Amino acid sequence: MNVIGIIPARYESSRFPGKPLVDIGGQTMIQRVYQQAKHAPSLNEVIVATDDQRIYDHVKSFAGNVMMTKDTHQSGTDRCAEVARHVEGFDIAINIQGDEPFIDPQQIDLLVSCFENPGTEIATLVRKVEALDELTNENKPKVVLNKKGEAIYFSRQAIPFLRGEPIEHWLSKRPFYNHIGIYGYRIDVLKQLSDLPVSDLERMESLEQLRWIDNGYKIQTALSTHANDSIDTQSDLEQILQKYF
């Protein structure tokens, strides 16, 4: 398999404008994500996909691979699909979140391994919920799996609902899973996904992967034990700096 890692990066963000270029211990966030991805042996190539000249110029400044994309994309998947239409020779695309400066390269390799099964169309990672505050945090989407490890549904609510049990007891009754927002797609499937209209479920939960399930695509999952540190707000950045520096 030839695998390309794509890092969507946009400058405009409602909660943290300009965050790809924020300094984290002497390097920008996008540079750290790029370097971490380059350490994943399963990736044959890594590229940043952006619609902003400042990000484009910065990636070029550290000799990174970058492509300018349209500024009309509604999601990172759509931005990845544009890249997929312009590159050749790849079987799998990995959509790497641009706001996780310390992503573990082994997570990328774990995701790529899902495609050793020729039936895998889309893949993503999950992690077991370990604390009640994770279970109830709507910014940490949850996922329900079937016996094949395929995602049945994603929600910002705690799912499945345990009728008759106080929520404080749920974690002792069964495993719950958080979704880790890194995706892999077969190239032909990725191009199809970007042509799908927004679905009602996606709009209600604000989770793009529900569009794919709504349209009959299967999402294989792999279980990761790594706790990801993403930066969505200025306070997230402050916590990251305290943790690592």
Query: Where in the chain are the domains?
Result: 3-223
pLDDT band (50, 70, 90) for residue 232: confident
In this structure, are residues 205 and 213 in contact, taking their beta carbons and an 8 Å threshold?
Answer: no
Nearest to 92 by CA among 26, 164, 184, 201: 184
10 Å Cβ neighbour count for 72? 8
Class of the domain covering 3-223: alpha beta
- What pLDDT, on the 0 to 100 scale, is given for residue 239? 87
What would the pLDDT profile of 125-134 be if each residue is shown by its tens digit?
999 999 999 9
Tell me 159's DSSP state.
Answer: S
Helices (H) and strands (E) in the chain, counts: 10, 11
What would the pLDDT profile of 11-30 be if each residue is shown by its tens digit?
987 678 889 999 999 999 99
- Predicted TM-score (pTM) of the model is 0.94
Strand partners, 68: 50
pLDDT at 1 over 80: yes
| Averaged pLDDT, 195-214 | 95
Tell me 160's DSSP state.
Answer: S
pLDDT at 44 over 80: yes
> Omega before 160 cis (within 30°)?
yes
Higher pLDDT, 235 or 173: 173
The chain-wide mean pLDDT, for the chain, equals: 95
| Averaged pLDDT, 168-193 | 97
